[in-house]
Amino acid sequence: MEGKINLIKMGGITLIELLVAVAIVGIVSMFAIPSYSSTIALANKHETISYLLTLQIKQERYWLSEGKYSGLSGLPAPNIDGVTLTYSESKNGNYSIVASLSFLDKSNPCRLLTITPYENLPHGCWGR
């Protein structure tokens, strides 16, 4: 056994393997991040719709007991990031609450959601 040389095998990864791994992570995140962002925006939109429908129910209950609608100060504030409310009252005592969803694209028709005693606008934004 005198003629044998002991070779020490080094462990680890090469630079090429590291670059391939980084490229794969980059490609996967290129698809995952926009999908995640749109899922969060959709969840916030549905949370806003639920909140507005709750306000509408509270307004109707208030009207049944008081004979008029409550002002915005009598209603619970939204706890949703990127949502601002605008409340307006008409001369005949009706109300309109508009929720502006800043996390949606400006071209999105559901960016402004409106509730009144009679309807929810835009009509196509309140379903699934």
For the segment 40-68, what is each residue's pLDDT rounded down to a tens digit? 988 999 999 999 999 999 999 999 999 98
**What burial class does residue 106 get, using C-beta atoms within 10 Å of its C-beta: 0-12 exposed, 13-18 middle, 19+ buried?**
exposed
Confidence of residue 128 (pLDDT cuts 50, 70, 90): low
pLDDT in tens, 87-126: 888 888 889 999 999 999 899 999 999 999 999 989 888 8
Task: Say if CB 95 and CB 87 are below 8 A apart.
Answer: yes
Both tokens of residue 8? 């020490």
Both tokens of residue 35? 């999908």
pLDDT in tens, 9-40: 767 788 898 999 999 999 998 888 888 888 89
Give Rg (Cα) of the chain: 28
pLDDT number for residue 34: 81
Tokens 């400006």 locate to 106
Q: Where are the alpha helices (DSSP H) in the chain?
A: 15-66
